[in-house]
Chains A and B, each alone.
Chain A
Amino acid sequence: MIKKVSVFITAVVIGVLSSLIRLDFITNLAEGASIELLVMFTANFLPYPEEKITFELIASLTYIAPKLYILIAFGDFFYDDFRISSVYVFTRKDNRVKWFLDKLFHILKHLVLYFAIITAVSVIIGFANNLPVASVQGLLLISSICILLNVTVTLVFVLLINVLSLYISCEMSLFLTLLAYVFAHLPAIVKRSDPVQHLLIKLNPVLQPVLPWHDDGFLLDYIQPLDIPAIPGFNVYWSFLVLGAYLVLAVFVGIRVVKTVEITDRNY
């Protein structure tokens, strides 16, 4: 109960901080500053690596930190049921798979709300600072895509942490998954030849939400003036396809594990 509330308060705080930081960046762009851009740059932007090593602390923080936070917040969500009273809780459930799906939907709901709050906060901050809306339709589309991409990728990693925590200690599983999560951002930092770079980005789960790298038509009006190179063939459908595949895999593995995991009162 407490956890939920604190997660949503944090979402507001993160939304305010990130959008204020990004507001500066957006308004310093010569032309075309809009609420859509603010939304996109608040939680869905990383600079494309132009130098051998490209690392912008602020951009990386606003991109990664909100997701790290929510991964940590939900990292012990399965394990909670295993740690205390596992035997009493489980034997009252109809079925192991249903337990898993209940948990999954519960997490999903929270993730959607979490990212929706962050996005809503940046829209409000945009309005409060008199940023224009270039197109209402564009704003709605970009906001929903930003939310959904972030939700899907975090859901995959939340599942990973939670499933792993049934085998190794919760802390270890959190640590390893977060490490993997952070390291997966390397193609956004280290420059390689374009084809390799593009492939690494297109297959990488954690970089799918970087909306300004996508080459969808509806993004061109926003992105082109900013001189950010779109990756050919990297569009929103592709991102949902890739993330969908990772998610299906994670759910499948999760169900298999939960179906067979032994519920013993070993001391974790």
Chain B
Amino acid sequence: MMAVEIYHLTKIIRGRTILNDITLELERGKIYGFFGRNASGKTMLFRAICGLIKPTRGEVRVFGKRIGVDVSFPESLGLIIENVGFWEQWTGFQNLKFLASIKNIITDEDIRAAIRRVGLDPDDKRIYGKYSLGMKQRLGIAQAIMEKPQLIVLDEPTNSLDEEGVGLVRNILLEEKGRGATILIASHIKEDIDLLCDEKFKVEAGRIYPAGSGVKDE
């Protein structure tokens, strides 16, 4: 079974075509990269895959289940979408603990391990509001991976990370792939895509073009 299947996905908002007849099949256990100019539709595509927006036409299936019909959101999903924040007055751990309590499938120790994995300190008493940009992004990544999801969707996961952070995230993603997770990344950072991804797609004006496999041919 494919991880993600998209057929003729079109999204029109107030008369503007944001996603234009996208058809795409993504296999399990691979890393896929999406690149393209600002406003080309990368984030919107990810939103549609995650069930956050409703397609105007077409369908999205994740692990065989049709999003918005069989399930509201993909089962077993970890994601970061652009600049979604956390609760400012809570510490990193408190934030993740609250989110983990929704599904209640991991322990406090799992949360702490996820925080350590991104190079943060689970016992850090600082509240999220006082985090630096890079720390915030790291916490977002910890949030996305903590529940060991089968599908990981990352919209610009490294755009404010330092070199060490970028390296860390790359290793994490390779480990997650090793575990069998399917990973989708949108990024402006060419190396991210080239180094990590098994396949690349170019997004342009709401359409999708295959751009060859990064790892193999470069």
Q: Which residues of A approach B to under 8 Å, CB–CB?
A: 84-97, 259-260, 262-265
Once bound together, how far apart are the Cα atoms of A94 and B65, in whole Å?
13
Whether the pair B51, A265 counts as a contact (CB closer than 8 A) is no
Mark B71-86 against chain A: 1 for CB-CB distance below 8 A, else 0. Answer: 1111001010111111
Q: A91-B77, A92-B103, A262-B52 are in contact. Are A86 and B84 (CB under 8 A)?
A: yes
Chain B contact residues, majority secondary structure: loop
Once bound together, how far apart are the Cα atoms of A84 and B72, in whole Å?
20
Whether the pair B72, A96 counts as a contact (CB closer than 8 A) is yes
Once bound together, how far apart are the Cα atoms of A92 and B97, in whole Å?
13
A85 partner, pick from B50, B74, B86, B103, beta carbons under 8 A? B86
Whether the pair A92, B99 counts as a contact (CB closer than 8 A) is yes
B55-83 CB contacts (< 8 Å) to partner A: 71-74, 77, 79, 81-83
How many interface residues does chain B have, given as a range? 20 to 34
Once bound together, how far apart are the Cα atoms of A87 and B82, in whole Å?
10
Q: A91-B51, A91-B73, A262-B54 are in contact. Are A84 and B81 (CB under 8 A)?
A: no
Q: A88-B84, A89-B102, A91-B74 are in contact. Are A263 and B143 (CB under 8 A)?
A: no
Once bound together, how far apart are the Cα atoms of A92 and B47, in whole Å?
14
Further 13 A-B residue pairs, CB within 8 A, beyond A85-B84, A87-B79, A97-B72: A84-B86, A85-B99, A87-B52, A87-B84, A89-B99, A91-B79, A92-B102, A93-B72, A93-B102, A96-B72, A259-B72, A262-B53, A264-B47
Query: Most chain-B CB neighbours within 10 Å: which of A92, A262, A264?
Result: A92
Interchain Cβ contacts under 8 Å between A and B, 6 examples: A86-B84, A89-B102, A91-B74, A262-B53, A263-B52, A265-B83
Q: A87-B79, A90-B73, A95-B71 are in contact. Are A265 and B53 (CB under 8 A)?
A: no
A265 partner, pick from B74, B84, B143, beta carbons under 8 A? B84
Once bound together, how far apart are the Cα atoms of A92 and B105, in whole Å?
11
Q: How close is A180's CB to chain B, nearest CB, in angstroms?
A: 27
Query: CB of B87 within 8 A of chain A?
Result: yes
Whether the pair B87, A84 counts as a contact (CB closer than 8 A) is yes
Once bound together, how far apart are the Cα atoms of A239 and B54, in whole Å?
38
